[in-house]
Amino acid sequence: MKLRCAVLDDFQSAATAAADWTPVADEVEVVSFPEHFATEDELAAALADFDLVVTLRERVPFPGTLLARLPRLRLLIASGMRNSVIDYAAAERHGVTVCGTASSSTPPVELTWALLLGLARGLVTEANSLRAGGPWQSTVGVDLHGRRLGLLGLGKIGSRVAAVGLAFGMEVSAWSQNLTKERVAEVGVQLASSKEELLSTSDFVSIHLALSDRTRGLLGAPELALMRRTAHLVNTSRAAIVDQDALLAALHAGTIAGAAVDVFETEPLPADHPMRTAPRLLATPHLGYVSRANYATYYGHAVEDIRAYLDGAPVRRLGGA
């Protein structure tokens, strides 16, 4: 009898086409779920008959309480090599091996610039107006050349965002709690003296930090109040880095010119969530990692992880499980 593998949150029904699953086809039945299971009860019921699970990023938590309700589960694969919503100790107790995949920083860099440019040139407003027979030109775009781009974080993604900003002729500065003069010199940008200085002097602020106890709520109402009324905020990192209520208040009050976000504290975003109707907001449904090449990596490595597990030699193990 074949083992059963569940692929979660396959919204585009792309998982089986993105990679070659034939290396495990004789031993594994793959079932893709294009719908999202929002509660632990829904997940436990849906996954009760599965031996293997492939989950995308950190959208679906696997706490100990859920793992205890999945006695058949033996292999859990998460895209990427870091996942904060899996209880690794519980996985080990329940005999569940946890593996990851590679992930490219290119797609989120590209989406960051798609969002930033969309904000700067009013692309959604103008495109919707053109299609609806509305006014011919109703916005005046913001220039990038000569403007200041402030980056919160200068890691793999932040440094590549910086390179594009420099190519546009922007002044680029960066800040994070451990950022050094040596690191900013390597990238060719300026070191902001503080988070407050970066926020108050930037025309565009883009977030590229990992979520941790230190970065959760890093931008609240006092920090957003430091931003210029003409400034824009872009977040393709993690929603919880920005106080969502404070951001909504700033957007409604017009104390910042606009924001673009690709990440939300609850995903998928509920139909009645205020982020769906907030003014001055360009929002996308967590597309930062969604690209053909990245999906080929995610699911291709998932197949490799399954094959290695079946052969008794798991690869890309996470959390020591």
Hey, which residues are catalytic here?
238, 267, 286
DSSP tag of 152: E
Q: Residue 197: which residues within 8 A CB-CB, separation 6 or more?
A: 175
Sign of the alpha-carbon dihedral angle for 29, 91, 214, 273: positive
Q: Are 116 and 279 in contact (CB under 8 A)?
A: no
Q: Do 66 and 40 meet the contact criterion of CB atoms below 8 Å apart?
A: yes
The set of residues, in sequence order, having a beta carbon less than 8 Å from that of 55 and lying 6+ positions away, is 8, 9, 62, 76, 77, 78, 79
Q: Is 19 helix (H, G, I), strand (E, B) or coil?
A: coil
CA distance 306 to 302: 6
Q: How far apart are CA 74 and CA 89, in angstroms?
A: 14
The C-alpha angle with vertex 70 and arms to 66 and 73, in degrees rounded to 5, equals: 120
Measure the CA–CA gap between 280 and 61, rounded to whole angstroms. Answer: 31
The DSSP code sequence of 99-147 is E-----SHHHHHHHHHHHHHHHHTHHHHHHHHHTT--S----PPP-TT-
Kindly list the strands in the beta sheet with 148-152, ordered across the sheet, starting from the edge strand earlier in the chain: 190-191, 171-175, 148-152, 204-207, 232-235, 258-261, 281-283
Half-sphere exposure of 50 (CA within 13 A, CB side): 21
Residue 169 sits at φ, ψ, to 5 deg, of 85, 25
